[in-house]
Structure 1
Amino acid sequence: MGAKIPQNVTKEDKLVGPLTLKQFLYVLAGSFLIFVVYQFYAQENLAIQLYFAEFILIALLIAIATILMAFIQINGRPFEVFLLNVLKYFMVPRQRSWHKEPRKHVAAIKVRAKDIKDTKSEIKERKSGREFKTQIEKLASILDTGGTINPEDYDAITTQISSVEKPKTGKGVETPTDVEDILEDAD
């Protein structure tokens, strides 16, 4: 028989009767506040005295707040989370506006024609695409080595690509058709 899989792992444990610890603490705090308000009503020698109607009104508000905080859930979330979300809704602006900030201007670099020292051979290489081919060769070698090539070795890279000749066919020339024949010819 397999192991038991725990169920309802997000449910809080009942510690004091049918109440969870958090519910019990809310009820305890609400009861204490009602007791303090009652002491202001019952004692005659305190600086602040409450009438019976005031005591009932304050005790009723405390009891409602205690019940809301301890037992009510909205959308499966505790009431205090809902209350914080409501407060955030009214405190944070609901409409956001975007103001484009001006870009920082970059100083233009002015180059005079006599500062450029292109030789005729460099211009011919560019026109022939030789520079482009060497850049492709460098990129191919980086990809082939998995990026482990040193930057100092870039200039030493040369790739020889020759065109592949078609096998000759005709009278007297036998073309290999089998893999084994091709491997024998390579030896």
Structure 2
Amino acid sequence: MATFQVPQFIEQKPKIIGPFTLEQFLYIAAAGVLSFFAFYIFNFFFWFLLTILLAGAAIALAFVKVNGQRMPTVIKSAFSYLWRPRTYTWQRAITQTVLDTSELEKLEETRSKMGVQERLKSIALSVSTGKIFSPKKWREEKDRYQVVTRITGEREVAKRVDY
């Protein structure tokens, strides 16, 4: 069976001009050309400031990576983010709900007028109708636990888990 050499360092671009790739060389060369023309246009102080800015920008564009992405890609993504319209779904308009408190006030009023005897009747009715206590719910709770016999012979109640 034939063996094939697996390519490594796929991200690495070929070095064309010295230790630089073609793209890196073009960034640095463009900054050098702009600095050369600025030397004849501006006085020494402004030329020096412009050259420092151009050199910094060229070095950043040529060599800096942010989160594994080259600087031109990051700048392009930043501009597209700034110019593209956005919608923020997490800033939805909260709908105004108006609650009718008149029924609540009437309920509070009747509760305050109700005596102890009537409250007990109300609770007894809720229990008998299953509103508060439901035997079915209690049975479901009871079915969740089972008696388990361990290897040693001990019996223990354990929660039943059905997957």
Higher Rg of the two aligned structures: 1
